[in-house]
Amino acid sequence: MDNQDRREIPVEEPIDRKEFKLISAAETDRGREKSVNEDSVLALEAESKEGVAYGLYMVADGMGGHGSGDEVSQRVVKFGKEKVFPYMSELVKITDDKDTEIAKAMRLIVKDIKEDVWKNLKKGGTTLTMALVINDEVWVINVGDSRAYLVKKDGGFKRITRDDSYVEILVESKAIKPEDRYVHPDRNIITKLIGYDFKRATGQHTPFDFKEGDLKVSKVRLDERDRLLLCSDGLWEEIGDDQIQKTARQGSSQQAAKKLIKMANDKGGRDNISAVVVSLE
């Protein structure tokens, strides 16, 4: 059953509690068929002086067909660790028009990441799914087909992101059935990326540009023991949403992340596999 068949989960009111604790795990694996792992992951948490829990989470899926995919994804995560995470201590202080200001900041962060890649690398491409969590509030932005899911403790499940991919366009236009996305011959074609576009006919690597203002920033809330999952297509394409929904809430964050990756490998592991699981405790 695809995301479109699942019930929508409304944004809920803030939880009436004073303390929040974020517990996460970031796991990545080469898979069974790839010789190099071009995925990169990041999971960082801290607490402000005012007692606000916050975290930065990333999954970047480097593209081998573009050359140096591992270098680009690593560069993106490095930027997140060194530049974005320290900046979050300022974002947690925002109170006026919070959703608008954080969405604006996230789009600017993607712009800075894109330009940092262009400045330091000459080829390669990557997806990026990034989540900023402040207490029980979550903001997500994505470029490409790495995903974010909300996994509710009561069984609710929601795909937060929209894939920037050719098959997503086909599904939305009803040209193919939702389940056909997993087997379509062009399922690896993405319509947006960070880095460089590679033209096989000419062998040229040209900067891939897009308007950050067009990127959607989604907002969800976490209840206690809800989970946020970020993953590469090596996970969701291999095992599907039904198995993700069942498995992502099992055990600790680390146990869930490791089990998801094992399941993807057991199903074939045709691609690199990454999972970042975040729990609100």
Dump the DSSP string for the chain: --GGGSPP-PPPPPPS-S---EEEEEEEE-TTT-SS--EEEEEEEEE-TT--EEEEEEEEEB-GGGS-HHHHHHHHHHHIIIIIHHHHHHHTT--TTHHHHHHHHHHHHHHHHHHHHHHH-SS-EE-EEEEEEETTEEEEEEESS-EEEEE-TTS-EEE-----BHHHHHHHTTSS-GGGGGT-TTTT-BS--EEEEEETTTTEEEE----GGGS-EEEEE--TT-EEEEE-HHHHHHHHHHHHHHHTTSSSHHHHHHHHHHHHHHTT--S-EEEEEEEE-
- Residues spanned by the domain of 127: 3-9+18-280
- Write the CATH number for 145: 3.60.40.10
Q: Which of 218, 20, 57, 229 is nearest to 135 (CA)?
A: 20
Give me the tens of pLDDT residue by residue for the chain, a chain 281 residues long: 444 444 444 444 554 545 899 999 999 999 999 999 999 999 999 999 999 999 999 999 999 766 689 999 999 999 999 999 999 999 999 999 999 999 999 999 999 999 999 999 999 999 999 999 999 999 999 999 999 999 999 999 999 999 999 999 999 999 999 888 988 988 889 999 999 988 877 778 899 999 999 999 999 999 999 999 999 999 999 999 999 999 999 999 999 999 999 999 999 999 999 999 999 99
pTM, two decimals, is 0.91
d(CA 258, CA 134): 25
Q: Give the total number of structural domains in the chain.
A: 1
d(CA 235, CA 248): 12
Q: What is the pLDDT of residue 67?
A: 65
Q: What is the pLDDT of residue 57?
A: 99
